[in-house]
Amino acid sequence: MNFEGYVDHTENGEIFGWVRNRDEPQQRVAVTIRLSNGWSKTLLADQPREDLRASSIGDGRYGFKTSVPFKIAHEGHITVSVSVKRSDYILENSGRQLLIEHPIQLIAGDISNNCNLRCPFCITDYSLTKGLRNMPAEVFEKAIPLLPLVPDGMFWLSCMHEATVHPQIIDFIQSVPSHLRKKLSFTTNLCKNLTDDTLRALANSNIHSIRISIDSIDPERFAELRKGGRLEKFLANLTRLSHFMKSSQTAPKIRYITMAFASNVHEILPVIMKCKEILPAYAHEVRFIFYQPHIAKWGQKNILPLDQWNEMKQEVESHAGSEHVEFYDPFPDTHSSFEKAIGIDTYKPSPAVFGGTCNPKQYTPADPLVNNRTKIPNEPLTFRLRWDGLLSHEKMPESDFLEYIQNLTPKYFVDMRIASQPEELDGWQKGIYE
């Protein structure tokens, strides 16, 4: 038989193409779609294709289309092959990779509820956070199935707090299957007492990236901006990490984060060059301060005037050489917010979100037991994962998310929360546990 056909599309979990028998153009041909992970499906190529008809390819009814089940499509690198059933004819463009658009853009997790430093510009208010609470291993184990749902580097082990205060951070990383390690990343101030074993393990971890915060190479200013930290310890940790990474075949990428203030603006370029000298990175971020009422007074004294910010950017761009530097400009209302101390009169300290003891109901989506099907948002989803296993998303009830990943019961979330054994239940949690 004289077949002709093409695989046109293998993106977002969908496969479509067309095939016909030139000798018998009225015949509808069956095709078998095979994935490299073993999944297969046979269907009839009989769907109308206007583009084929317009190109005078018979009557145009030679199309086929199918969707790969969500769980199957997220099993790593998968290639697609399409052949005519009971034939050795393989369609053109077979062998293409099945490309998946990840349903979740980011899971901003925190495996701890606290930080070893008290930086005066931190947007997290720790005034009511007492003690250290770490994510139990059982909770992290329950979170691992979420890893295939995010792009590389977008499952954070720390977002608002410090990951290295968790004594099991290396155990957590090593518990993740090797093919999923690239999903992980975290931010650190690198000011803890980190052993050679810890740094060596990080250097060989095969996670996507480590974001390292550094604002000054002057010991006194470093201690002021990174309150509780010492430059000497930071540099020692960075130097040892660099040493171990040089001999590693599975080293993570490094990304630096530097905050710019009136007191350190003249140091931004030296900081960038010092970091490059010790441990080169794929990017160095320079950020402007973010406004929160609890840092308003400190910010009023230390905020960088916009003209100095722009001058610093020009200097860095002119002298940073090949170093890739990204600037995060201030929001339009940042200066006015600090000047007016917006919200400071009514501001009341509260436990850190996803930090201390707080009312989960405030940060929890709709009742996951309610089985109403609302439209899945078109924009990428962003979730937060707290140290105790509370997973939340502002725009989507958990029931809808469960349906989205083809798991129609809340059991996954129940298991994650049960693993943490919360002392008090509130809101939707009561309905789940009872």
Per-residue model confidence (pLDDT) at position 388: 79
Res. 223 pLDDT band, cuts 50 70 90: very high
Q: Are residues 219 and 71 in the same domain?
A: no
373 and 228 within one domain: no
Residue 98: what pLDDT?
Answer: 87
Whether the pTM exceeds 0.75: the reply is no
What is the chain's mean pLDDT, rounded?
84
Are residue 153 and residue 85 in the same domain, yes or no?
Answer: no
Sign of torsion over alpha carbons 41, 47, 53, 58: positive
Q: Domain check: are 132 and 243 in the same one? A: yes
Tell me, yes or no, whether 253 and 332 share the same domain.
yes
User: What is residue 364's predicted lDDT score, i.e. its pLDDT?
Assistant: 36
The pLDDT confidence band at residue 379, using thresholds 50, 70 and 90, is very low
**Whose CA is closest to 98, among 48, 51, 47, 33?**
33
Q: How far is CA 220 from CA 1, 18, 207, 227, 228, in A?
A: 81, 68, 33, 10, 11
Distance of alpha carbon 217 from alpha carbon 267, whole angstroms:
8
| 3-state secondary structure at position 349 | coil
Examine the domain organization and report whether 333 and 227 are in the same domain. Answer: yes
pLDDT at residue 130, rounded to an integer: 83
Domain edge (last residue) among 67, 97, 127: 97
Indicate if the pLDDT at residue 425 is higher than 50: no
Closest CA to 202 of 172, 161, 236: 172
Based on the fold, state whether residues 197 and 246 are members of the same structural domain.
Answer: yes
Q: What's 91's domain CATH number?
A: 2.60.40
- Determine which of 152-161, 271-280, 393-402 has the lowest per-residue pLDDT on average: 393-402
| pLDDT value at residue 375 | 36
What's the CATH code of the domain at 166? 3.20.20.70
Mean pLDDT score, 421-428: 38
Task: Flag the least confident range among 21-30, 157-166, 182-191, 378-387.
Answer: 378-387
Residue % of the chain over a pLDDT of 70: 80
pLDDT recorded at residue 420: 44
Mean pLDDT over 372-385 rounds to: 52
If one compares 396 and 307, the residue with the highest pLDDT of the two is 307
Residues 173 and 279 in one domain: yes
Co-location of 342 and 366 in the same domain: no
Question: Which domain, by its residues, includes 74?
Answer: 3-97
Question: Is pLDDT larger for residue 202 or for residue 346?
Answer: 202
Overall number of domains in the chain: 3
- Whether the pLDDT of residue 323 is over 80: the answer is no
**CA-CA distance, 396 to 393, in Å (whole number)?**
6
pLDDT, residue 402, reads: 46
pLDDT at residue 104 in the model: 73
| pLDDT tier at 342, thresholds 50, 70, 90 | very high
Predicted confidence at residue 349, as pLDDT, reads: 80
Question: For residue 353, which of 154, 122, 34 has the smallest C-alpha distance?
Answer: 122
DSSP 44-89: EE-B--HHHHHTTSTTS--EEEEE--HHHHTSSS-EEEEEETTS--
* pLDDT(123) > 80: yes
- Whether residues 159 and 205 share a domain: the answer is yes
Residue 411 has pLDDT above 60, yes or no: no
Q: What percent of the chain has pLDDT over 90?
A: 63
**Of the candidates 78, 97, 116, which is a domain's last residue?**
97
Of 47, 73, 97, which residue sits at a domain end?
A: 97
What tokens does 184 get?
């992980």
Q: Do residue 182 and residue 294 come from a single domain?
A: yes
Instruction: Judge whether residue 373 has pLDDT over 50.
Output: no
Model confidence band, residue 34 (pLDDT cutoffs 50, 70, 90): very high
> Please, are residues 222 and 263 in contact by the beta-carbon 8 Å criterion?
no
- In the block, residue with structure tokens 């997790």: 109
C-alpha count within 13 angstroms, C-beta hemisphere, residue 79: 6
String of DSSP letters for 291-335: P-GGGHHHHHHHPPPHHHHHHHHHHHHHHSTT--EEEEPPPTTHH
Same-domain check for residues 73 and 111: no
Other C-beta atoms lying within 10 Å of the C-beta of residue 361: 10
